[in-house]
Amino acid sequence: MIGRLPIAIVLSLGACASIPSAPVPDFAWKDVTGDVSDGELASLCRDAWELSMREDPVGATSLGDPRYGGKLPDLAPAAEERHAETIRGFLRRTQGIRAESLPERDRVTLRMLVDGWKLDLEQHDSGIDAASWSLDARSGPQVDLLTLTQDQPVGTPAERAQLIERWRRMPAYVDQAAANLRRGLAAGRTASHRAVEEVLAQLEKILSTPAEESPLARKAAGGGTWVEPPIGDPELAVLASKTGARAADLREANAPLPVRVRGTGSLVFVPPKDDPLTPAERGRFVAPVLAVVRDGILPAFRQYEGFIRSEILPRARDDDHPGVGALPGGDAYYRLCIRRETSLELSPAELHEFGLAEVARIRAEIEALGPKALGVSGMAAVQEKLRGSPEMHFQDAAEIRKKAEDVLARATAAVPSAFGIRPRVRCEVVEIPEHEAPFTTIAYYRQPSADETRPGRYYINTYAPTTRTRYEAEVLAFHESVPGHHLQIAIAQELSGLPLVRRHRGSTAFVEGWALYTERLCDELGLYSSDVDRLGMLSFDAWRACRLVVDTGIHAMGWSRKQAIDYMAANTLLAVNNVENEVDRYIGTPGQALAYKVGQREILDLRAKAKAALGDRFDLKEFHDRVLENGAVTPAILREEIDRWLARK
């Protein structure tokens, strides 16, 4: 799973006049338009990319654009109106471009942009925006703001000033999130009860953590610690002897800091050893960050928590009505979500039937492999053997991490056998932060920075390690890292002939469909260690098939949360805690889970078509290169590109 990769980015940059702006560094993106030959189309690609950086400053930071490091997205309805008007202007500009005169690559670029912008406007004009009703333990201020600390650079004085500016904008950001939810309440739209409870649990944890221990403050501390000195030690000599720090350094680091009393004494900040900053510089950085966390961000979260508990929770949809179909206008909104995520015109009914057929097919494969892999027959016996055996689960976080790193290394070594195009940038394993881990999925991926200074990251969930299954570890790593998300996304980012809006954005069905396709591909390449690990592969395929049934069941057919959980538990080998987390994810992000199987089906159909057309001349490596060489295009465009390749062959 990855974060959204929309063709058109949402929201626009907000400005808070009362917050002083940090200096904006000189920076310009290179190769913004790629090889686009038409002047107006090149100008549109450039303007669309710059708009996405301004409107999504957090995404800009993640990609390595330093200009917006002090900003946050503007969540206000007025910002959405400005965005929609800008997109209408872009569409007017496309009317002067003669598509038939463009080279093929440029025609694809124009089509991707226009289709994305039209869908963007359709969603805006529907009047149902997720920000006005959705609460989700996988996103929202209580997750997104704390996660910011991972990519926020602090290596220079200007970068530290940007962090302070961005942190000072966080209280208003949280307040605007609450204002949007109030709009939803007024329109009769609310989140599901379970989602509200999970978000409240996250907020309770945030609010129970002292300000200096918050991830938001720890970023400024740079590895420094807080200790309570002995009473009556004004010179800090005893504390210095205990911590190994010099008393003079402690005085310099703490001079800018306010005295905070907890327990019997004042807390003292001890700078990290080998700190690149002087004690005085570190203290001047920590002081304003700690102040805004303690006096601004945490009070805003406290108010947000109180609003959700008192106003949202009593009106939340119960677990018997968790889908968007229970919301006013929800049926039309769900169909829009299907188009957004799959890039195809598909009805909930046909997706549901497709899912039922796939579940039956894969379930038969599981039952056929069970006797060979485990010595037991039948789905129930296979489930009991895998879910109930301690040896099928990890013992600690270190085991989970080592397995992920070993599988990633093995898959990376096998890449040349199946791919001609290969990424330059590497992928690394990272543990999901503790504030997020109890409420999120078993793993996800985040793309490298555009300048390749930060690698791709395969995030693994090590929370409650004894609930994490060994038999699914290999397929999980293949999907999220190599040859799944990392290989495809890193290759796309490195396609220098494409404009940046193509290299860094695209179709969810392509991105997720590719990653699912590679799970079976790794079986062809002999990468699974045992038949038990191959059962994990089948479990994951059944999981994605169940998504078609469950997502449409929840949002279009009135399924309850329990009905969805029971169906997935009966038809996959997933651990029950993972099933529950997944169902809650589908409730919060309608339609996204449909993209996996739809995209996989498209790639498999095209591969079968190519094999039939080329016979002995079919080369798997060449087919993969043709699929990956245009970035994350929509299924319809991918079909056309493969058809052209076959015609040339």
DSSP 69-126: TT--EE-SHHHHHHHHHHHHHHHHHHTT--GGGS-HHHHHHHHHHHHHHHHHHHHHHH
Same domain, 149 and 197: yes
Residue 266 in 3-state DSSP?
strand
Same domain, 283 and 363: no
Asked whether residue 197 is domain-assigned, the answer is yes
Closest-CA residue to 528 (of 474, 468, 483): 474
Is 553:564 a contact under the CB 8 Å cutoff?
yes
Alpha helices in 187-318, H assignment, sequence order: 193-208, 215-221, 237-243, 247-254, 279-292, 298-307
What's the average model confidence in pLDDT over 456-472?
94
pLDDT at 263 exceeding the cut of 70: no
**Distance, CA of 531 to CA of 177 (rounded, Å):** 48
**Distance, CA of 12 to CA of 580 (rounded, Å):** 34
Give burial (CB, 10 Å; 0-12/13-18/19+) of 647: exposed
Is 546:567 a contact under the CB 8 Å cutoff?
yes
What's the average model confidence in pLDDT over 272-297?
95
Which residues, including other chains, have CB under 8 Å from residue 22's CB and lie 6 or more apart? Answer: 69, 70, 158, 161, 162, 164, 165
The confidence score (pLDDT) of residue 254 equals: 87
Closest-CA residue to 471 (of 572, 564, 544, 377): 572
Same domain, 419 and 554: yes
pLDDT at 238 exceeding the cut of 70: no
The confidence score (pLDDT) of residue 54 equals: 97
Asked whether residue 217 is domain-assigned, the answer is yes
Which of 127, 146, 174 is the last residue before a domain boundary?
A: 127
**Distance, CA of 178 to CA of 402 (rounded, Å):** 41
Asked whether residue 623 is domain-assigned, the answer is no
Same domain, 468 and 490: yes
**Distance, CA of 48 to CA of 221 (rounded, Å):** 37
Q: Crossing angle, helix 379-388 and helix 531-556, to 10 degrees?
A: 110
Is 62:151 a contact under the CB 8 Å cutoff?
yes
**Distance, CA of 351 to CA of 354 (rounded, Å):** 5
- Paired with 445 in beta bridges are 2, 458
Count of residues making up the chain: 649
Structure-block tokens of residue 480: 């999220």
Is 177:76 a contact under the CB 8 Å cutoff?
no
pLDDT at 70 exceeding the cut of 90: yes
Asked whether residue 306 is domain-assigned, the answer is yes
- pLDDT band at residue 11, thresholds of 50, 70 and 90? very low
Residue 447 phi/psi, 5-degree rounding, is -70, 160
**Distance, CA of 390 to CA of 612 (rounded, Å):** 46
pLDDT at 184 exceeding the cut of 70: yes
The confidence score (pLDDT) of residue 610 equals: 98
Closest-CA residue to 343 (of 639, 83, 587, 606): 639
**Distance, CA of 220 to CA of 214 (rounded, Å):** 10
The confidence score (pLDDT) of residue 626 equals: 97
- pLDDT band at residue 502, thresholds of 50, 70 and 90? very high
The confidence score (pLDDT) of residue 261 equals: 40
Q: What is the mean pLDDT of the chain?
A: 92
- b/e map of 576-588 (b: 16 or more CB within 10 Å)? eebbbbbbbbbbb
Same domain, 113 and 217: no
- b/e map of 291-303 (b: 16 or more CB within 10 Å)? bbbbebbbebbee
Omega of the bond leading into 483 within 30 degrees of 0 (cis): yes
Same domain, 467 and 566: yes
Closest-CA residue to 436 (of 142, 148, 71, 95): 142
Structure-block tokens of residue 605: 């159909």
Domain that holds residue 205: 136-322
**Distance, CA of 9 to CA of 24 (rounded, Å):** 22
**Distance, CA of 388 to CA of 393 (rounded, Å):** 9
Same domain, 225 and 373: no
Asked whether residue 622 is domain-assigned, the answer is no
- pLDDT tens profile 365-412: 999 999 999 999 999 999 999 998 999 999 999 999 999 999 999 999
Structure-block tokens of residue 201: 């649990």
The confidence score (pLDDT) of residue 1 equals: 59
The confidence score (pLDDT) of residue 262 equals: 45
The confidence score (pLDDT) of residue 440 equals: 79
Asked whether residue 608 is domain-assigned, the answer is no
pLDDT at 268 exceeding the cut of 90: no
Residue 13 in 3-state DSSP?
strand
DSSP 215-241: HHHHHHHTT-EEE-PPTT-TT-HHHHH
Pick from 111-120, 379-388, 438-447, 467-476: least confident? 438-447
The confidence score (pLDDT) of residue 392 equals: 95
Same domain, 431 and 389: yes
What's the average model confidence in pLDDT over 458-476?
94
pLDDT at 7 exceeding the cut of 60: no
Residue 469 phi/psi, 5-degree rounding, is -90, 140
Same domain, 120 and 239: no
Which of 76, 93, 127 is the last residue before a domain boundary?
A: 127
Closest-CA residue to 93 (of 31, 43, 142): 43
What's the average model confidence in pLDDT over 419-425?
96
Residue 269 in 3-state DSSP?
strand
Side-chain-side CA neighbours of residue 313 (13 Å): 13
Q: How many independent structural domains does the chain possess?
A: 3
**Distance, CA of 172 to CA of 428 (rounded, Å):** 34
Same domain, 455 and 364: yes
pTM (predicted TM-score): 0.89
Which residues, including other chains, have CB under 8 Å from residue 2's CB and lie 6 or more apart? Answer: 444, 445, 446, 447, 485, 489, 511, 512
Strands (E), 482-580: none
Asked whether residue 635 is domain-assigned, the answer is no
Radius of gyration, CA atoms only, the chain? 26
Residue 158 in 3-state DSSP?
helix
Same domain, 455 and 550: yes
Is 426:455 a contact under the CB 8 Å cutoff?
yes
The confidence score (pLDDT) of residue 255 equals: 87
Same domain, 592 and 508: yes
Which of 127, 162, 194 is the last residue before a domain boundary?
A: 127
Instruction: Provide the pairing of β-strand 73-74 with 12-13.
Output: antiparallel
- Paired with 192 in beta bridges are 317
Is 470:503 a contact under the CB 8 Å cutoff?
no
Closest-CA residue to 75 (of 155, 154, 141, 161): 141
**Residue that is written with structure tokens 């009135």 in the block:** 558
Asked whether residue 26 is domain-assigned, the answer is no
Residue 478 phi/psi, 5-degree rounding, is -60, -45
